[in-house]
Amino acid sequence: MEIKIKNLSKAIKDKELFTNISESLHPKDFVAITGESGSGKTTLLSIIGLLENWNDGFLQFDNYTFTNPRGGTATKIRKHKFGFVFQNYGLFEEADVQKNLNIAFTSKVSQTERQNKIMAILQKVNLKVSVNQPVLTLSGGEKQRLGVARALLREPEVLLADEPTSSLDDHNAEAIVTLLKEFANSGKIVIVATHDARLIKAATKNIHIAYPR
């Protein structure tokens, strides 16, 4: 997928968060959105993911141009092309690991294939938990790796990840950086909001939000 971000501006109430952000993104791009806490990283990521409205400018995904995130085409793109890793993980806390990962699959994927893919991804994110363990019993860092695992299982064209290494120790953070980098290199676009120097270093592009404004 090709993404064009053109003169994007966002204000919340009367407070301007950012103005005139422009960038073109192509397959294999690994983009770091940087800026201080409160600068608007999560907001920008949500806007690019067509989850939140903006004030000015437009977004283009292949041949589709959007001046707002509403409508059927936006919903389809969000559902079929994007994968999200949320800052608060976005998992179903009451359900177990298996159920949370099963959400990533379409009905076409067989039970055996699901199990194989689940085992492979859990190993890649270095998650040594039972698939029957309820998510609410996992540690913060384990939940974070489960969130990344689920997003990768869906193999989205565009992966949007909000601080995907924020709860991780060095070793586990490195593993996630490597995985995301590999995923981008396989022809996808990866966009991360982050403070993590390792992610910023691995990125091919940087969108920096100036703060204080």
Ligand X SMILES: Nc1ncnc2c1ncn2[C@@H]1O[C@H](COP(=O)(O)OP(=O)(O)OP(=O)(O)O)[C@@H](O)[C@H]1O
Point out which residues bind ligand X (CB under 6 A). Answer: 12, 17, 35, 37-43, 193
Which of Mg ion, ligand X, none binds 97 (CB below 5-8 Å, type-dependent)?
Answer: none
Which of Mg ion, ligand X, none binds 63 (CB below 5-8 Å, type-dependent)?
Answer: none
What own/partner pairs with CB < 8 Å and gap ≥ 24 does 12-15 have? 12/43
Q: Which is nearer to Mg ion, 122 or 164 (CB)?
A: 164
Q: Which is nearer to Mg ion, 41 or 150 (CB)?
A: 41
- Give the whole-angstrom CA distance, residue 86 versus residue 8: 22
Please identify which residue in 6, 9, 27, 42 interacts with Mg ion, judged by CB under 5 A.
Answer: 42
Tokens representing residue 200 in the block: 């910023």
Applying CB under 5 A, the span of 11-19, 37-45, 88-96, 177-185 interacting with Mg ion comes to 37-45
Give residue 39's Cα distance to chain centre: 18
Least distance in angstroms from the C-beta of 52 to Mg ion: 12
Q: Which is nearer to Mg ion, 42 or 126 (CB)?
A: 42
Q: Which is nearer to Mg ion, 55 or 87 (CB)?
A: 87
- Give the whole-angstrom CA distance, residue 125 versus residue 97: 13
Size of site (CB under 5 A) for Mg ion: 2
Q: Which is nearer to ligand X, 38 or 187 (CB)?
A: 38
- Give the whole-angstrom CA distance, residue 97 versus residue 67: 37
Applying CB under 5 A, the span of 34-42, 68-76, 116-124, 199-207 interacting with Mg ion comes to 34-42
Which residues, other chains included, contact 92 with Cβ-Cβ below 8 Å and sequence gap of 6+? 99, 100, 103, 135
Helix (H) and strand (E) counts in the chain: 7, 9
Please name the helix (run of DSSP H) or strand (run of DSSP E) that holds residue 111, with its range, or none.
helix 111-124
Residue 180, strand partner residues: none
- Give the whole-angstrom CA distance, residue 187 versus residue 183: 7
Least distance in angstroms from the C-beta of 76 to ligand X: 25
Binding site for Mg ion (CB under 5 A): 41-42
